Amino acid sequence: MYRQRKWVPLLILILLSALILAACNDDPVEGVRSIELEDGALKEVYRVDEQIDFDNAFLLVTYTTGRVQRTKLTPNMVSGFSTDVPTNASTLTVQFAGFKIEWIYRVIGSSEAANSFRLNLTEGENRVIGVSCSGTENFPALGVMFEVVMTGMKLDYSLVPEDAVTVSADMNYSVNAEASSFKIVLWAKDGRTAMTDGALISFKIKKDGAEKAVLTLQRATVSDGDGDYTVPQSTIEII
């Protein structure tokens, strides 16, 4: 005769209780609410054959719980990117967790980059000479080097250095002064933020008594991190 095992219903009851307790203790599922590109993740201008710098490209992912996570951008998240030929406007797509971002970029050739960037000399009040740049919209300039040759004047080092030379807040610089010239090197502090049109550096000069003094900016090169390009010289006369 079949003998009922009394422990079977008890075991089922224990298992059901455990499942109910586990369900009550589960945390809410955290979903993705939105994504955005971190500043500097992608560039607006690329050179022919230049690739995305995935080592420094990140997404900011916002979850439904309000948490924001910095997530590394990977090649499999990006589609539609090509720098095979110059283009005025191309669109790539970034996809993550069902969300997507479209990014418009431009591809330029090396010769165009070399011809677009300019350094400009200006004279302000009290013999303050300013160096500014232009053409950065078409060229991602990360650093620039140039020589300033002076005829009938000299750099004013009678002031403390921080008063004699001022520089854009986003840039580091070095000055190597000689008798009638000095070399200036400027580069992005974070190594990846490109220059924008506007003032780069200014310095104060002293006139040596000559009727006409000449200041020439020459031997200038600009770098986008991959190559160096020659920049036309600039000259001004100081009366």
Domain-by-domain residue ranges, the chain? Answer: 32-108, 111-238
Which of 8-22, 120-134, 206-220 is least confident? 8-22
pLDDT at 95: 95
| Nearest partner of 148 among 124, 199, 183, judged by Cα | 183
Residue 75 has pLDDT above 60, yes or no: yes
User: Cβ distance 171 to 187 under 8 Å?
Assistant: yes
User: 137 versus 41: which is more confidently predicted?
Assistant: 41
* Distance, CA of 27 to CA of 81 (rounded, Å): 39
What are the pLDDT digits (tens) for 23-41? 444 444 579 999 999 988 9
User: Cβ distance 120 to 206 under 8 Å?
Assistant: no
User: Edge-to-edge, what's the strand order for the sheet holding 87-96?
Assistant: 45-47, 99-108, 87-96, 78-79
Residue 161 has pLDDT above 70, yes or no: no
pLDDT at 157: 55
Among 42-46, 70-74, 116-120, 178-182, top mean pLDDT goes to: 70-74
Please compute the mean of the pLDDT values over residues 61-71 and round it to a whole number. Answer: 93
At 160, the pLDDT band (50, 70, 90 cuts) reads very low
User: Cβ distance 171 to 201 under 8 Å?
Assistant: yes
User: 109 versus 149: which is more confidently predicted?
Assistant: 149
pLDDT at 159: 42
At 129, the pLDDT band (50, 70, 90 cuts) reads confident
Percent of the chain exceeding pLDDT 70 equals 78
Q: Which fold has domain 111-238?
A: Immunoglobulin-like (2.60.40)
- Structural element, H or E, at residue 179: none
* Distance, CA of 37 to CA of 44 (rounded, Å): 13
* Distance, CA of 33 to CA of 27 (rounded, Å): 17
Q: Which CATH number fits domain 32-108: 2.60.40.3630, 1.10.1740.10, 2.60.40.10, 1.20.1050.10?
A: 2.60.40.3630
Phi, psi for residue 234 in degrees, rounded to 5: -135, 140
Which of 56-60, 122-126, 133-137, 221-225 is least confident? 122-126
Collapsed DSSP state (helix, strand, coil) of residue 15: helix
pLDDT at 16: 55
User: 227 versus 99: which is more confidently predicted?
Assistant: 99
Residue 188 has pLDDT above 60, yes or no: yes
Task: At 235, list the tokens.
Answer: 């000259």
What are the pLDDT digits (tens) for 3-12? 555 555 555 5
Note whether 32-108 and 111-238 share their fold.
Answer: yes
Among 11-15, 23-27, 71-75, top mean pLDDT goes to: 71-75
User: Cβ distance 175 to 165 under 8 Å?
Assistant: yes
Please compute the mean of the pLDDT values over residues 178-185 and round it to a whole number. Answer: 80
According to DSSP, the β-strands at 58-63 and 68-72 are: antiparallel
Alpha-carbon Rg for the chain, nearest whole angstrom, is 30
The pTM (predicted TM-score) of the whole model is 0.52
What are the pLDDT digits (tens) for 87-100? 878 999 999 999 99
